[in-house]
Amino acid sequence: MIRKLKSGQYRLLSRKKDETTGQRQNLGTFESRQAARRHEREIHYFKERESARSSPPSGATGSESAHRRN
């Protein structure tokens, strides 16, 4: 979530609220909305990348499935 500050900068906040404090985590402050959006996309890219790495692949591995096709 991107919010504009009184100073004219943009702050990127996490989507989920912290259960203990009830506030959102600050993920960075940026001079432009475009820079905040770019950083938000980078965060989502690496979140997806990590979740894909940690979950076991469904079915066979790439090399096994390639052998089955031939």
Q: Note the pLDDT of residue 29.
A: 95
pLDDT in tens, 18-43: 999 999 999 999 999 999 999 999 99
Q: With helix as H, strand as E and coil as C, how does 13-66 read? A: EEEEECCCCCCEEEEEEECCHHHHHHHHHHHHHHHHHHHHHHCCCCCCCHHHHH
> 10 or 60: which carries more pLDDT confidence?
10
- Give the SS3 label for residue 68: helix
What number is the average pLDDT over the span 37-64?
A: 77
Q: What pairs with residue 26 in β-bridges?
A: 13
Q: Note the pLDDT of residue 49.
A: 83
Tell me which residue has tokens 């912290």. Answer: 18
